[in-house]
Each structure stands twice: as structure tokens, then as C-alpha cells.
């Protein structure tokens, strides 16, 4: 008579063998379940982790076009202010432009603005202007003001999304000396006595203004000369900056340029986010566009997209170009036929307003400076 323990062990062994056999049969009989995302292996009746065997899948054209339109429209609304900064910089630093200066150099206008002046914003007719486009990718850029003007003056600094982050001037009681514009997150050491202003982006627009008495012609030239004494220079003496080659076509930043409602807009947007950077609060939304080749560090290639995606993106640019400027009529309040707005110069998360102002009147002051 066989002992109970041996019988129990034999039954356990047979059970294990049956389970192993069943598992093998399961793998052979149902090796995988495939779908559009990949496949699943079944072992002993249980699904394994997904195996990496992607199945080719193409989104139907109607959905691909709709998705491209939705992303493209959002990219246009968020990015038009960045794109406007970029194309103005590319124009003003081009040697072929009527008035031009390299990066990190003031371009001082020789007199008061006239209707035919080569100015791409809405200037006052009692103010002399000096404009500069800063590249902070190589570290801080220093601004030296050797003499404080004896009248109203200001130097406004805005990031690549047109938000004011620093003022130097009469209203804030600035003195002669040296100031510094710092790239985002910079932790270096400034020279003694230098006040620093950290920019949210590595691209910066500077606008220096000095008021004059326009009815006194002899008052203008000395103010222009004084504005020319303001100097910009990199903190790093070995810093190298890109320069536009002579003969490069001068871009047209105005709204009559078909670029604004074409696929070419997205190429400009890539350049803007690559050169000037993206504000921290915009990075998450900007990251959504990478699947279409739109974003910092990318080069937009329309030919890499499907025809449906190209249609969606082009329709998005056309729609946004028509819609965004309308926001200017929705902002502010009307008084005696004039529209007043006191929320300009700093836009926070109101991206459509920032893009509207960038397209219609680049470089607005904050209310506390303008009023």
C-alpha cells in the first residue's frame, strides 16, 4: 500500500506539469492579440505587458485636418507675438534695411517720426527713439547710461512675448550708471554696482525714449546725440552673436505680407521660439505643437505632413489672422470715439491680447509709465 505523502507529492507534480503544459498551449494557441497600438502576449490566460510591435495606422483625413486646424490655430494665437518679435528683429538687424543695427546695439532714429518713417510700431510725435534687439543666449548684456537726461526719459525692456519686465528712467528715479539684462535663470556674478533685471526669455526688445519739444527744431538734435551715448555690450567679452549676411532679403513685417496666413508662418514661429525662447508659463501649451514640427529647436517642414494636415494648418493661419486683430476692438472702453485700454505692456496669460497688440502696435507701455 502506497503511503499518503507520496501520493500527495505525485498528484502535486502532475498538477504542475498540467499547468505548464496548459501555459504552453495558451501561448501557442493564442500567441498575441494585435490592435492599432501594438500587441499583447497571453501567458497562462493572462495578458503580459504590451509588446513593441506597432501596427501601421493612419488617422482618417477628416480627423487629421481637424486636429491640425485646432493645434495650428492655438499655435497662431499663442505664437503671433513671438513671431512678430522675430520678424521685426530680422528686419532691423538686416544690413539692407533703411535703418538697421546689429544685435545688442542701439538703432537711434535721427529725428521725429513722420508718416513715411521706417518705423513698425506706433510712435509719438514728441519723442526721440532708440531701439535695440538683445540676444541673451551668451549671458547678460550691459547697458551704460553715462548721463541722465534733464527731461522725461525711459528705457523699457520687454520679453519675446512683449511683456514688460524692466524700466530704467525718470519715473523710477534711475541714475547714471550701468545696468544688466540677464537671461532666464542666470546665476553668475555681476560687477559691483550693476543692477540686474532677469528676462523671462533670451530674446529682448529695448525701447529708449526721450521727450522733446517738437515745435523747437533746435531741441531735437541734442537729444538724439544724448541718446546715442547709451551703450550696450555683453558681459562676456568673448561672446559671439549671429549676424545676417549682406544681400539677405529684408523681410516685410507688416500685415500685408501673405506669410501671416500661410504655412510659412509656422517656419517663422519655429525661428522665433528657437532664437528668443519661450516664457515658462507658455512652455506646456507650446509643447503640444511638436507633433506637427512646430516648436523651439525644430524646423517646420510642410512636406513631412500629410495633405490633410497641411490643409488644416493653412486654414488655421487664415482663420487666426482674421480673428486675432478683432480682439483689439473688444479690449478697453470707448470714450468720445476713442478706445482706451490700461492693460497693455504686460499680458500675463492673455495671449490673444498680446498677439493683437504685437500685430497692431508693437511695444506698448505699462499704464503706470504711459499715464
Look at residue 137 and tell me if it is in a domain: yes
Say yes or no: 131 and 222 in one domain: yes
Look at residue 281 and tell me if it is in a domain: yes
Residue ending a domain, choose from 186, 206, 234 = 234
| pLDDT of 12 | 44
Inter-residue contact 159 to 189 (CB < 8 Å) = no
Say yes or no: 223 and 139 in one domain: yes
Say yes or no: 313 and 348 in one domain: yes
Residue from 184, 205, 160, 181 nearest 347 by CA: 160
Separation of CA 351 from chain center: 11
> End-to-end alpha-carbon separation of the chain, Å?
109
Say yes or no: 272 and 366 in one domain: yes
Residue ending a domain, choose from 234, 261, 291 = 234
Q: How many domains does the chain have?
A: 3
Say yes or no: 257 and 174 in one domain: no
| pLDDT of 19 | 42
Could you tell me the residue range of the domain that residue 363 belongs to?
61-90+247-370
Average pLDDT for runs of 10 along the chain of length 371: 50 47 40 46 53 68 96 97 97 94 94 70 84 97 92 96 96 96 96 97 96 89 93 96 94 94 98 98 96 97 97 98 82 67 78 88 82 71
> What is the CATH number for 209?
2.60.40
Say yes or no: 146 and 226 in one domain: yes
| pLDDT of 47 | 52
d(CA 16, CA 26): 15
| pLDDT of 32 | 40
Burial of 233 (0-12, 13-18, 19+ CB in 10 A): middle
Look at residue 13 and tell me if it is in a domain: no
Say yes or no: 203 and 179 in one domain: yes
| pLDDT of 46 | 53
d(CA 78, CA 349): 10
Look at residue 14 and tell me if it is in a domain: no
d(CA 106, CA 155): 11
Amino acid at each position: 500500500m502506497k503511503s499518503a505523502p507520496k501520493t500527495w507529492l505525485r498528484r502535486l507534480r502532475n498538477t504542475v506539469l498540467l499547468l505548464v503544459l496548459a501555459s504552453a498551449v495558451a501561448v501557442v494557441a493564442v500567441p498575441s492579440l494585435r490592435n492599432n497600438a501594438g500587441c499583447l502576449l497571453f501567458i497562462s490566460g493572462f495578458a503580459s505587458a504590451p509588446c513593441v510591435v506597432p501596427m501601421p495606422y493612419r488617422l482618417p483625413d477628416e480627423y487629421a485636418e481637424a486636429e491640425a486646424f485646432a493645434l495650428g490655430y492655438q499655435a497662431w494665437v499663442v505664437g503671433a507675438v513671438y513671431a512678430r518679435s522675430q520678424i521685426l528683429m530680422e528686419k532691423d538687424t538686416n544690413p539692407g534695411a533703411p535703418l538697421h543695427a546689429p544685435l545688442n546695439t542701439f538703432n537711434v532714429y535721427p529725428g521725429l517720426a513722420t508718416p513715411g518713417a521706417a518705423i513698425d510700431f506706433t510712435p509719438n510725435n514728441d519723442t526721440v527713439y532708440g531701439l535695440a534687439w538683445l540676444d541673451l543666449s551668451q549671458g547678460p548684456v550691459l547697458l551704460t547710461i553715462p548721463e541722465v537726461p534733464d527731461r522725461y526719459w525711459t528705457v523699457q525692456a520687454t520679453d519675446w512675448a512683449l511683456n514688460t519686465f524692466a524700466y530704467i528712467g525718470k519715473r523710477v528715479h534711475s541714475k547714471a550708471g550701468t545696468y544688466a539684462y540677464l537671461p532666464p535663470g542666470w546665476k553668475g556674478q555681476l560687477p559691483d554696482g550693476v543692477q540686474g533685471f532677469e528676462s523671462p526669455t533670451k530674446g529682448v526688445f529695448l525701447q529708449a525714449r526721450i521727450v522733446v519739444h517738437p515745435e523747437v527744431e533746435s531741441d531735437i538734435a541734442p537729444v538724439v546725440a544724448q541718446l546715442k551715448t547709451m551703450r550696450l555690450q555683453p558681459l562676456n567679452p568673448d561672446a559671439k552673436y549671429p549676424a545676417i549676411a549682406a544681400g539677405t532679403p529684408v523681410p516685410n513685417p507688416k500685415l500685408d505680407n501673405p506669410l501671416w496666413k500661410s504655412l510659412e508662418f509656422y517656419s517663422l514661429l519655429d525661428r522665433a521660439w528657437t532664437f528668443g525662447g519661450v516664457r515658462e508659463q507658455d512652455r506646456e501649451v507650446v509643447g503640444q505643437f511638436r507633433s506637427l514640427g512646430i516648436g523651439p529647436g525644430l524646423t517646420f517642414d510642410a512636406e513631412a505632413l500629410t495633405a490633410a494636415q497641411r490643409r488644416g494648418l493653412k486654414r488655421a493661419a487664415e482663420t487666426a489672422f482674421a480673428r486675432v486683430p478683432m480682439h483689439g476692438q473688444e479690449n478697453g472702453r470707448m470714450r468720445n470715439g476713442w478706445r482706451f485700454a490700461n492693460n497693455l505692456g504686460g499680458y500675463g496669460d492673455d495671449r490673444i491680447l498680446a498677439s493683437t497688440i504685437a500685430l497692431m502696435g508693437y511695444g506698448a507701455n505699462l499704464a503706470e509709465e504711459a499715464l
